């Protein structure tokens, strides 16, 4: 029996306003839903971007990716590298890998549906639950709004949380971190994320000032592609460094790990190009004996984490999950149980196949 070939690729753009904007410049999110048909089956995947580039991503999918992929075997591992080389003239990462993720995830969804199993079962279940931590895009929150959010994290049972830093006034950051640290108490960990707002001297000053709060990690203190800066900071400070949400290829992750520049590795499954490269990055992290903490997309990241041999941390951002992209509220294989995300084989009385993601 011959292997099914990709017959068609269709896309549609979903734009949804956030119930609570990430800031004045991010009032909405975009998802490009990708449907792939092969034989008598179809699979759905998606590409995602907060504000910049959704139409460019969709154009890459509708033109260059579709023209390349139609007629090829519907196997993500076979097509990914050839497609990346084909698109490389337009850039090795960024819009190209974001667009590639839509096709890659759709092909994995198609494969899992054909097997009649969920993604975790397809990959091989190794654990029934994974740890989650509370997170928020909250640098623009008032102090009262931030502390109210921290109380919600405690009430939800999270064992750790992460807040934003990088204010123009370092004293404002110190006041906010101190307030959240008091709410979380010594039994929960706290991490901070500067979202690339500092240069190296500012990062050194900020990190030294924040060290007294017993931070779990400091995330993106400087520009995400500045490998030399991360390597330098890691030799100068006593806090674990986290980076990865804005690193787009397995090649670049390999360079950061080989340089021993980061401790916590945070690939975003869409930005790196889908599940195929994400699994390669997870292998690199395991070999380097670092901590894997996928960026955003908890409903999908958790399904992968159930299949990994090592425990990972899953980020749950308040008001910024898949539901913010217009995914309808239908059963998925991931159940929320306080501080953990649990795997459900059967949800709502029927078996969930494929990625278990539904689009409105």
Q: What single string gives the DSSP state of each residue in 284-320?
A: HHHHHT-EE---S-HHHHHHHHTT-SS--EEEEETT-
| Contact by Cβ (8 Å): 132, 321 | no
Q: C-alpha angle 269/145/167, rounded to 5°?
A: 70
Token readout for 2 is: 């011959």
The residues annotated with a catalytic role in the active site are 164, 295
In angstroms, the CA 202 to CA 218 distance is: 13
In the chain the first and final C-alpha atoms are separated, in Å, by 35
Q: What share of the chain is helix, strand, coil (3-state, %, to 5)?
A: 40, 25, 35
- The torsion region of residue 325 among left (phi > 0), alpha (psi -120 to 50) and beta comes to alpha
Spatial separation of the C-alpha atoms in residues 226 and 228, rounded to whole Å? 6
């Amino acid at each position: 029996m011959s292997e099914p070939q990709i017959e068609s690729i269709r896309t549609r753009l979903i734009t949804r306003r956030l119930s609570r904007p990430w800031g004045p410049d991010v009032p909405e999110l975009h998802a490009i839903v990708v449907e792939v048909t092969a034989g008598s089956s179809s699979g759905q995947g998606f590409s995602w971007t907060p504000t910049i580039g959704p139409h460019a991503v969709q154009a890459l999918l509708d033109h260059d990716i579709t023209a390349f992929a139609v007629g090829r075997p519907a196997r993500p591992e076979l097509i990914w590298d050839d497609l990346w080389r084909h698109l490389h003239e337009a850039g090795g990462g960024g819009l190209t890998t974001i667009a590639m993720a839509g096709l890659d995830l759709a092909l994995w969804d198609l494969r899992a549906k054909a097997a009649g199993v969920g993604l975790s079962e397809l990959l091989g279940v190794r654990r029934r639950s994974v740890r989650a931590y509370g997170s928020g895009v909250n640098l623009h929150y008032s102090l009262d709004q931030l502390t109210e959010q921290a109380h919600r994290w405690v009430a939800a049972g999270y064992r750790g949380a992460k807040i934003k830093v990088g204010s123009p006034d370092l004293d404002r950051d110190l006041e906010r971190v101190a307030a959240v640290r008091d709410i979380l108490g010594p039994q929960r960990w706290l991490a901070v994320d500067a979202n690339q707002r500092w240069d190296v001297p500012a990062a050194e000053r900020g990190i030294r000032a924040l060290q007294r709060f017993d931070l779990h990690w400091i995330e993106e203190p400087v520009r995400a592609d500045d490998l030399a800066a991360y390597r330098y900071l890691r030799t100068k400070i006593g806090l674990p460094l986290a980076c990865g949400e804005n690193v787009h290829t397995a090649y670049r992750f390999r360079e950061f790990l080989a340089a021993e520049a980061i401790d916590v590795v945070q690939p975003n499954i869409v930005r790196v190009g889908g599940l195929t490269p994400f699994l390669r990055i997870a292998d690199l992290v395991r070999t380097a004996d670092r901590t894997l903490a996928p960026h955003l997309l908890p409903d999908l990241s958790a399904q992968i984490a159930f299949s990994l041999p090592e425990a990972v941390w899953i980020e749950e951002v308040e008001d910024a999950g898949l539901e913010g992209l217009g995914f309808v509220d239908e059963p998925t294989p991931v159940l929320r149980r306080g501080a953990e995300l649990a795997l459900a084989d059967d949800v709502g009385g029927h078996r969930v196949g494929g990625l278990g993601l539904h689009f409105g």
